Structure formats: structure tokens, C-alpha cells
Amino acid sequence: MGTRTPDRVAVVTGGSRGIGRATALRLAADGMAVVVNYRSDAAAANQVAADIEAGGGRAAATRADVAEPGELRDLLDTAERRYGGLDVLVHNAGGYVRGPLAEATDDDYARAFALNARATFHVLREAGRRMRDGGRIVFVSTAATLLTPPAQALYAAGKVAGEHLVRTFAREIGTRGITVNSVLPGPTETEGFAASEAPVDLLVAQTPLGRLGRPEDIAEVIGFLASDAARWITGKNIVADGGLS
């Protein structure tokens, strides 16, 4: 969409691969300094930062498990120390927990909510304390919260909890000009989706636009929500699934 937002500072959690990587590149192309967060794949995150810098942008790769409050604070400290503040936070980090509900363990339940709900709570709380007025927060959820596919009950439930936190937080923080929204991607060509063994042919056949999503498709939506052009949109679930739902 070409909306330039120079002098802004963005943090992208889960920014080393897939949708997170595409988002980091998109925000950098819009002129933002980008902190690329990762939990385990340092090489991939460093490559994203290197690609941004090779294009004339500003970026740093920083490790943190955002489900841990102390590590999240360290991550945001990096953004403030290195670039002077926090204006955009894209919370893309999460995790898949799959399997029939009747076979799920208590540990499966705890992990699904730790990865997808508790981490979102921590991110929103910390962003509310640090983000400069007029900022943007985007939570990457999933269209599975609408489609209720088998074997994804815990994963989707954790994401739904995150969506509710987003909608409420948008009301609480709106007077500061900060917008808070969720993006709900459908099936997207990422490593995580490839590992899920989802029925690709069936999903493509059911999608009006006739293909799987690409990370760049989702990054364009996130980039818009992170821009000044989206200043009048907050507390919303934005579905980006090619019409599948």
C-alpha cells in the first residue's frame, strides 16, 4: 500500500520466518526501524535483519521468549535503547497444539494457552506501559477461530482468548490514539502450515480465490493496520483468508 511511516520503531515477535518475516520486511520497507524477535532460530532472524539493512533499512535481531515477562521486557528494552521508543508491536509469536480434544492432556491445554493467550496478555500489558501515543498493536490470530477445524480446538481456543484481550484493550487504551487489532489469516504457505499435514487440495478448492495465502498477503494487511491510514480502525478482527471462512 506504500504508506511510509519513517522514524517509527516496530517490534515483530516471531519475526524470523513465515508471516513474521514478511511483516518485518514490509514494515522496514515502510521506513520503520524493526526489532526482529525470535525464540530459537537465530540464523533466520539475523538473516531477516541483514536483508533489511542491505536494503537501506534499520533492524536488529533479538532473542526472547515473549511468554516470559522478564524476557519480553528485555526485548522492548532493546527497542527503546537502540531506536528510542516503541510505536508498533506486531505479536506474531505463538504455537500450534493439535490433536483430537478427547485425546488432549492437561499439559497440551496449558501449553496452548501459554503460547497463544498468556503471551498475548503479557505483550498487551507491556505495550500499554511503554508504547508512545498514536501507536499500533496487531495480534496475529487465526481464521481457525471462525472455521472450527477438527484437531485445532486448543490452538483456536488460545487464539480466541487473545482476540478478546485485544478487543477489550482497544477500548481501554484508545484515548491515547493507540489502535489494537487482530488479523486472522487462513491457511498460509508457511513452515508451520506445511508441518500440520492439512488437506491442501481441499482447502484450495474451498477458497474462493483458489489458492493458499502467502506470507506477503498477510503482511500487507498488517502493514496497513500499522500505518496512519488505519488510524480509525481499532478493536477489530480482520480476516485475511481468501474468502475461506
The catalytic residues are: 155
Cα 116 from Cα 118, distance rounded (Å): 6
Contact criterion met (CB below 8 Å) for 240 and 213: yes
The 3-state DSSP class for residue 136 equals strand
Measuring CA to CA, which residue among 16, 11, 71 is closest to residue 35?
A: 11
Percentages (nearest 5) of helix, strand, coil residues in the chain: 50, 15, 35
The phi, psi pair for 4, rounded to 5°, reads -80, 135
Helical residues (DSSP H) of the chain, grouped into ranges: 18-29, 42-54, 69-83, 106-113, 119-130, 144-147, 153-173, 191-195, 200-206, 215-225
